[in-house]
Amino acid sequence: MRPAFHTSSLQAPAQSETRVEWLEGQSHTEVGMHEDIGQMAGAIWHALNTRGELSVAQLKKEVGAKSPLFDWAIGWLAREDKIVMTQKKRSFTIRLK
């Protein structure tokens, strides 16, 4: 079962704080950015649930992700205690708890 990553508990920023400039030059509202991160976190969770433990490179390829969105979603899943990261030599693997 795929978990739902809801952003309903997030408070909407004040109107003057809604625009965030992304590294690629795109602008999104903070709420939109949280939704993007939540969707990426869901895609990562689904890939790990389907394929099992993957290296960071394999997981990025599996979900077709680019930094920094992928990194933020991994951080979200780690903060929510949904994943385990293990260092293997010079890389890391990720699996669901």
Q: Write down the domain spans for the chain.
A: 28-96
Mean pLDDT of the chain: 79
Confidence grade of residue 80 (pLDDT, cut at 50, 70, 90):
very high
84 phi and psi, to 5 degrees?
-120, 130
Contacts within 8 Å (CB) and 24+ apart, 58-67: 59/94, 65/40
User: What's the pLDDT score for residue 32?
Assistant: 77
- For domain 28-96, give its CATH number from 3.40.640.10, 1.10.10.10, 3.40.50.10070, 3.90.1150.10: 1.10.10.10
Structure tokens at 91: 């890389």
Per the CB < 8 A criterion, the answer to whether 35 and 67 are in contact is: no
Phi, psi of 86 (to 5 degrees): -125, 130
pLDDT in tens, 9-45: 444 444 444 444 444 555 555 567 788 899 999 999 9
